Structure formats: structure tokens, C-alpha cells
Amino acid sequence: MKGQDKDAEIKFFDRFDRKGGYDVFDTSGYQKISKIMKKIIPLKNGAIIYDMGCGSGAFTFYLANAYPKSRVIGIDISKGCILRAKKDSPAIEFQIDDVEHLKIKNSSADLVCYSGILHHFPDFSKVAQEAFRILKPGGKLFSYDPNLYNPAFWLYRNNIFI
């Protein structure tokens, strides 16, 4: 099975520094997802949250607002997206890193969130291994992706959380 073409991904997403941010949802979509997350994943003050594949930081911004007493860090492979994220949300920490080979310490995260990136990987076993490597014991993983079968999208479309 062919892997992800990282060079092509970087080239595609780097342009969002010059052309403006990259948003998958509108404001109400991000608000709903972050509200659901906060309800189903309560975190203690000082928790460390990684938003993997944060792009230009659109969802990272809502994560930081949903968990204001946590340290939220956006991670993306694209330097251009990270530059845009830092411009748009200077109070949030952003880093360039590869979700298959993270430079993050073992057992250091309370929550790892994948912001619509798993569909970029034909096999995301390396991505999952990295998530579980950096999660603290009892840490949580949350993922949303544009995929009909993703449980997060079932929650997103369910009016019980409005």
C-alpha cells in the first residue's frame, strides 16, 4: 500500500499562509464539535492537549476556548499553515511536526485530537502508535474526519448536543 505523499501535502497546505486560513467547518461547526468534546471528555486544569493536523489552527482556537485552563498545542507538517496559525492565534502554541514521527515525549499528553487528517493516510497505524506513545495513562484520543462512518460525525449531526 502506498503511503502518504508528504511533499505534496506540504506543498498544498503551505499556500494557506499566503491565501488565508484553511477551514473545514464554519464557526457553528467548530463550536458544536468543541462543545461535544468538552461534554464527553472533561479534563483537569493544566491538561496538555495536542491538536494533530491543525492546519491553520481553526479548530485549535476552539479547543483553546473550550479548555481555557489547559495547554493546547497545534501540530502540523506544513510550515505555511503553522505560520498562518501563529498569525491568527498568537496566544496559542503551534509546532511543525510529523504525526507519524513526533518529537513529543512519551506519556506527556492528556488528550490527542486528530482534526480531520486521518483520511490523508492510507494506513494510519503509525499515526495511532504515535498517539498512544505520547498519551499519559488514562489519556484520551478524539478524532473527527470527513467520513460518514466516523462516530464523531454521528455526534456532530445529532441534535441532542445543541
pLDDT at 130: 95
Residue 118 sits in a domain of what CATH number? 3.40.50.150
pLDDT at 160: 58
DSSP 90-150: TTSEEEE--TTS----TT-EEEEEEES-GGG-S--HHHHHHHHHHEEEEEEEEEE-S-TT-
**Grid cell listed for 59:** 479548530
DSSP 111-125: EEEEES-GGG-S--H
pTM, full prediction: 0.77
In a domain, 122, yes or no: yes
Q: Rounded to the nearest 10 degrees, what angle do helices 79-88 and 6-14 cross at? A: 40
**Grid cell listed for 17:** 499562509
The pLDDT of residue 65 is above 70: yes
pLDDT at 136: 98
pLDDT at 30: 77
In a domain, 1, yes or no: no
In a domain, 155, yes or no: yes
In a domain, 115, yes or no: yes
pLDDT band for position 1 (50/70/90)? very low
In a domain, 95, yes or no: yes
Spatial contact of 131 and 125, defined as CB atoms under 8 Å apart: no
The predicted-structure confidence for 72-129, as pLDDT tens digits, reads as follows 999 999 998 899 899 999 999 999 999 999 999 999 999 999 987 876 676 778 889 9
Give the domain extent around 39: 6-161
Number of domains forming the structure of the chain: 1
As a whole number of angstroms, the distance between CA 131 and CA 27 comes to 27
